[in-house]
Structure 1
């Protein structure tokens, strides 16, 4: 859903648990599923949804994700129930909700819920602070950069989700080529990035955003994101065990 906001030097249905004694094909299927879902999350936080995206999400079958965890399932239910009653005004309603919360046009007690790490990790809630510098350094270390023409800071949640998708597909290509050390590097980079630069501030962001959002859909998006981050931490640990084995 949506165009890529970051590029690299170098859409799967449903979540797949890492199978015991997994084959290379099994592992690559899990990695592709991870990448695809991270791209979906990236599109949800990047800009207001188009009518085509709304219709596609309403028709999508997310049943394979139903047992991920409770918060993820609750979020999916919120999104599905909202979209089930969509009408000619849904796109505009979602756009207003997105802009108010994630684009910072609304505030709660003087604070906005723009999805930047710096805003939620700096003392004064400002952009381009230490959080931004840390994410920029991580992108640079893995030779990843934002697409030309996008002026938002690198520590935007959408860019970070796409970074995770890139790492996942790199790990898949490394396994395809028999490069175990390369796959381990990409998975270790994913685990560290998720812990240090995404999960570390997402709870604070989601708490504030939920006070500003009015639609059940975007509140569900927050829950799905939280649940997926939890799942992905477990998935990457399992992948590393399998690849090293």
Structure 2
């Protein structure tokens, strides 16, 4: 799996990995996809790739992904960057706050950040020096989950339920209804479907 620009191993000690099956490989790739899209706007190359997808899957996930593919044919990287900036940056703050602390406490840089740092350290991870976002940013959490697909399901479940599940649906609801959301409205819909699949999968695990 490609090296993340958001997280890195502590003392170059990668997490012990298990052999990935095809499903976990795809899960990891999708978490990386989400980490990329929520950390910065997509490049034209990424949009062209999405536009080139030939999606025949008529499941909820496939239908939502097809919406994104269809929309990618109609937008440009500069246009989506304007949307991204309005949603997540703005002059003082964006329309949506992609931070766990905001949803769990109402403030930024609160206890959830420290809790994530503690759990990351236990997993042998830390935030990459090049990453300016705090550990509770949704993109960073997705990067961590992408890394954890090579760990046990117990570890994945514990981290997901502690740091993502309590707030992610409210965040995605807010993103889906944000005034500037067009491309990212469909990203939010797809992410919500994926989160439901993850929750159902983890519900089968006895942690």
Q: Among residues 157, 163, 170, which one is paired with 1:191 in the alignment?
A: 157
2: distance between equivalents of 1:103 and 1:203?
A: 20
2:48 counterpart residue number: 55
| TM-aligned CA distance change 1:137 to 1:3, over 3 Å | closer
2: distance between equivalents of 1:157 and 1:5?
A: 11
- Tell me, yes or no, if structure 1 residue 36 matches structure 2 residue 29: yes
2:166 counterpart residue number: 200
2: distance between equivalents of 1:117 and 1:5?
A: 16
Could you tell me how far 1:53 is from its partner in structure 2?
1.1
Unaligned runs of 5+ in 2: none
| Aligned-residue RMSD, C-alpha | 2.6
The answer to whether the 8 Å contact 1:79/1:216 transfers is no
Could you tell me how far 1:28 is from its partner in structure 2?
1.9
Deviations 1:170-208 (A, max 9, x none): x3xxxxxxxxxxxxxx31121122222112111221222
Could you tell me how far 1:237 is from its partner in structure 2?
4.8
Deviations 1:3-50 (A, max 9, x none): 53112331xxxxxxxxxxxxx97x622221111111011111010111
2: distance between equivalents of 1:56 and 1:2?
A: 20
| TM-aligned CA distance change 1:74 to 1:105, over 3 Å | farther
| TM-aligned CA distance change 1:101 to 1:145, over 3 Å | same
The answer to whether the 8 Å contact 1:120/1:205 transfers is yes
1: distance between equivalents of 2:4 and 2:47?
A: 15
Deviations 1:144-185 (A, max 9, x none): 11112222111111111111111112x3xxxxxxxxxxxxxx
2: distance between equivalents of 1:128 and 1:207?
A: 22
- More helix, by proportion: 1
| TM-aligned CA distance change 1:61 to 1:131, over 3 Å | farther
Higher CA-based Rg: 1
Could you tell me how far 1:73 is from its partner in structure 2?
4.3
Secondary structure of 1:200's aligned partner? coil
The two structures have a TM-score, normalised by structure 1, of: 0.71
2:141 counterpart residue number: 160
Aligned length: 199
2:99 counterpart residue number: 116
2: distance between equivalents of 1:126 and 1:191?
A: 26
The answer to whether the 8 Å contact 1:2/1:43 transfers is no
1: distance between equivalents of 2:117 and 2:46?
A: 29
| TM-aligned CA distance change 1:5 to 1:61, over 3 Å | farther
